[in-house]
Structure 1
């Protein structure tokens, strides 16, 4: 079933994005056991949050009788690839990837809340439930970044642009 309105499209894309995030962390956990073992417990906590977020959006989609986004599996596959590749380069690359994704996601979530206020209270409530966790992920990731490092300089613009593109495409599919 197609999304009936903007709120449903947003919820579908957010659900797919959370699936992508779960897979980023799953891949990073797998690879970081060898490249950056000290961050694995943090990544496991982040993954648990993202699984919870995915459930929040799925429950709201089911309540509305709406199917998941067409980009759901693509987000999962892309997330796993991104997580695997970046984790190969260690802690700085993992932290830079998470920070870049979370900055973009937080901007979109806050914009979505603003656009949907007074239009769809249930969608706003679902989105608002996850903002604090996403802010925490960003803050903790930034704490791991060391000034002047190579990977953050390279990965931040690439990952941010890729995340923006995936969200833009997801809304339009």
Structure 2
């Protein structure tokens, strides 16, 4: 009986993590969607890369959705909040141009990668299905971070201002999502 309870607790935690990750992917898709819209005028050289990143995030969102469906778990209550927040963040940073777009991606992905690595550690040996799904996206999230970091000048105003604000906002949304 104790072993079943332990497995159920791990499954509940895995489900909660997957729900928040799924909502986060909705936010990421909308960040890129809005940045693509704005970057056509402010940073046309980034549009192709942003489209590639958006396609990755759409695939990640679908992976999480499929696992939630397999588990019979509803999506996170923060799903639409993440989507709207992502759209607003993408519009603002897209309007601000190339450096703001790249600094935003670096800040978001830095936080996301930290959480994904922590999730993999926490769920290892407890919820292997969740570990498999999360593991599938880490490399692409790292690619988004690294390629965007190659566009960022650390002395640029957007790197200094947006990095901490976007990172704190991302942490806050994850914290909230885990509690909704």
Q: TM-score range by the shorter chain?
A: over 0.9
Segments of 4+ moved more than 4 angstroms: none
Match of 2:127 in 1: 120
Is the 2:36–2:50 Cα contact (8 Å) retained in structure 1? yes
Of 11, 28, 45, 2:35 maps to 28
Which residue number corresponds to residue 170 of structure 2? Answer: 163
Partner of 2:54: 47
Indicate conservation of the 8 Å contact 2:154/2:160, yes or no.
Answer: no
Q: 1:89 aligns with which of 63, 79, 96?
A: 96
Give distance in 2, aligned partners of 1:147 and 1:169.
30
Unaligned runs of 5+ in 2: 1-10
How far, CA to CA, are the matches of 1:164 and 1:37 in structure 2?
29
The match for 2:112 is: 105
After TM superposition, the structure 1 = structure 2 runs for residues 62-73 of structure 1, keeping only pairs within 5 Å, are: 62-73=69-80
Is 2:12 the counterpart of 1:5?
yes
TM-score by length of 2: 0.93
In the TM superposition, what is the alpha-carbon distance from 1:44 to its structure 2 partner?
0.1
Q: How far does residue 147 in structure 1 lie from its aligned partner after superposition? A: 3.4
Using the size of structure 1 for normalisation, the TM-score is 0.97
Output the aligned Cα RMSD. Answer: 0.7
> Structure 1 stretches of 5 or more lacking a match?
none
The one-character-per-residue Cα deviations of 1:41-93 (angstroms, maximum 9, x if unpaired) are 00000000000000000000000000100000000000000000011111000
Cα distance in 2 for partners of 1:147, 1:162 equals: 20
Quote the residue 2:138 is aligned against. Answer: 131
Q: Distance in 2 between matches of 1:145 and 1:86?
A: 14
Q: CA shift at 1:39, angstroms?
A: 0.2
Instruction: Give the corresponding residue for 1:78.
Output: 85
Q: By how many angstroms is 1:15 displaced?
A: 0.2
User: Residue 142 of structure 1 corresponds to which residue in structure 2?
Assistant: 149
Matched residues, number: 170
State the secondary structure of the residue aligned to 1:144: coil
SS in 1 for 2:125: coil
